[in-house]
Amino acid sequence: MPDYEVVIGLETHIQLNTNSKIFCGCSANSWEDEPNTNICPVCSGLPGVLPVLNKAAVEKAVLLAFAMKSNIRKESFFDRKNYFYPDLPKGYQITQYDKAVGSGGYLDLPMDGYTRRVTIEKLHLEEDAGKTKHNGGDWMVDFNRCGVPLVEMVTAPDLRSADEAAEYLIRLRQLLRWLDISEANMEKAHLRADANVSIRLKGETHLNTKTEIKNLNSIEAVRAAINVEVKRQIKEVEAGRKIKAWTLDWDEDTQSLKKMRSKETEADYRYFKEPDLMRIDLTDEWREKILKDFPELPLERLKRIEEQYNIPYHHADFVTQDKAFSDFFIKAANLYKKDSKKVSNWMLNSVKGLLNIDDKKIEDLYLTAEYLVDIINLLDEGVLHSTSAKALLFSVEMEEKPPLVIVQEKGLAQVSDEATLMEIAKTIIADNPDQVKKFRDGKESLIGWFVGQIMSKTRGKANPELAKKALLEELKE
Ligand code: ZN
Ligand code: MN
């Protein structure tokens, strides 16, 4: 079989996390609301009303455009995209067409051993439509989502595998949360992706007919659906058939694609400038204000952390999963100064464990970077062993007290629980085979000497009774 190359472009719709909708005062978040309870005359398209632009939506779109290295237009316009569909009460969608807020741009994806540059073909603001659904024999419509602010962002056909497509969405999601412009939760449709997929023989440069996959609401679904579709297309071509420009619907339950419709021609949306809205005039002052505190971006920070702190790529990737998490790492690594990998290791294991307990974010933790470093220092000094250091980290979070306070209040003997003493006992036993032999041969008075070793290792802070118990247990074999 000849070698095929997969060509993928992704069309994404990103829900901006503004308080209100893009052209009216209704809440932009109606996830838990009953159908048609979060609507007003503007977003439900009643005649005689006028849209008023939500500035926050523009600002968030500008942040995204800047992060994607797009050209940000000083003047951009809204247009009407006309089509007739039950979820669109006005009969048109207010969107941006040829003079959108951004033009061009790219995202560089760090893949295994190479970088994939994905160029951006479209980046514009628009309003969301409503939602239709079948209910028994009825066809229902919910307008709650009408007028929710979206950025539509479309990539060029630059992606070459399902993994690259998944990586694009992972990095986009990370970026959106990093900039705090979208919750980017795919399950809640904050981030929606359609994939355009075609194949060609390796080395060819033209684009073959593509199919469009819809209803992908997780990154795993994107990966799975593309793989299924690529297999189908190869099979078709190998059998001498032509790929038709279908729109396909991903069925999560059966992990298969169903044909929704065939798409012969582009619909004519009869775009024209929206007469009810002024152009967006992004003055230099406004632009400056929006971009004033623009952060170091996730992939730039990942690279810097990997190099500057000399930690493995997967550690750097892990600690830059979100901005607050990476701020925590940087603070801790700067305080600790020594081996930053120790810090990233603690974050990868124990701190992550704390977050998993009840799905917390790092900024919600009582544990701070300072406290983490205190604990690592106690471990370095031999005051604590790893098991009790981990227990201390847990106590800090549960009792909401600084580590040194807990150590002081309880005395280290209590902090150094039996497991820790056991560990110390094991090392001492391993390090002193002669004394162990004597003890086992009957010189039981040596136990005092062993306890002395534990006391000196813990600087006198171990509980001697517990130390003795741990030693006897270990010496017994
Ligand atoms: Zn409204
Ligand atoms: Mn759109």
Q: Is 257 helix (H, G, I), strand (E, B) or coil?
A: strand
Gap from CA of 170 to ligand 2 centroid (Å): 20
**Residue ranges in the chain modelled with pLDDT below 50:** none
> What is the reported pLDDT for 452?
87
Give the type of residue at 304: R
> What is the reported pLDDT for 97?
96
What's the CA gap between 212 and 297, in Å, rounded? Answer: 31
> What is the reported pLDDT for 412?
60
Q: Are 21 and 147 in contact (CB under 8 A)?
A: yes
Gap from CA of 37 to ligand 2 centroid (Å): 24
Gap from CA of 126 to ligand 2 centroid (Å): 7
> What is the reported pLDDT for 414?
54
pLDDT cut 70: percent of the chain above it: 97
Gap from CA of 165 to ligand 2 centroid (Å): 19
> What is the reported pLDDT for 321?
93
Gap from CA of 304 to ligand 1 centroid (Å): 44
Q: Are 126 and 93 in contact (CB under 8 A)?
A: yes
Give CA separation, 49 vs 44, 90, 141, 412, in Å: 10, 11, 21, 70
Question: If you count them, how many residues does the chain have?
Answer: 477
**Which listed ligand is nearest to 143 at the C-alpha?**
1
DSSP-assigned letters across all residues of 316-376 = HHHHTSSHHHHHHHHHHHHHH-S-HHHHHHHIIIIIHHHHHHTT--GGG-S--HHHHHHHH
Which candidate, 172, 156, 151, places its Cα nearest to that of 109? 172
> What is the reported pLDDT for 264?
62
Torsion angle, CA of 81/85/91/97, rounded to 10 degrees? -10
Gap from CA of 44 to ligand 1 centroid (Å): 7
Gap from CA of 25 to ligand 1 centroid (Å): 6
| Residues within 5 A (CB) of ion ligand 1 | 24, 26, 40, 42-43
Gap from CA of 378 to ligand 1 centroid (Å): 57
> What is the reported pLDDT for 411?
67
**Which listed ligand is nearest to 24 at the C-alpha?**
1
> What is the reported pLDDT for 233?
97
Q: Are 340 and 306 in contact (CB under 8 A)?
A: no
Gap from CA of 41 to ligand 1 centroid (Å): 6
Gap from CA of 73 to ligand 1 centroid (Å): 27
What is the gyration radius of the CA atoms in the chain, in angstroms?
Answer: 30
- For residue range 47-104, list pLDDT tens digits in order: 999 999 999 999 999 999 999 999 999 999 999 999 999 999 999 999 999 999 999 9
pTM (predicted TM-score): 0.85
What's the CA gap between 152 and 156, in Å, rounded? Answer: 13
Gap from CA of 149 to ligand 2 centroid (Å): 11
Q: What is the DSSP letter of 20?
A: B
Evaluate the CA torsion angle 229, 231, 236, 238 in order and state its sign: positive
Q: Tell me the angle at which helices 55-67 and 162-178 cross, rounded to the nearest 10 degrees.
A: 130
Q: Nearest 5 degrees, angle CA 162-CA 237-CA 202?
A: 55
Gap from CA of 86 to ligand 2 centroid (Å): 16
Q: What is the DSSP letter of 261?
A: E
**Which listed ligand is nearest to 23 at the C-alpha?**
1
What's the CA gap between 129 and 15, in Å, rounded? Answer: 12
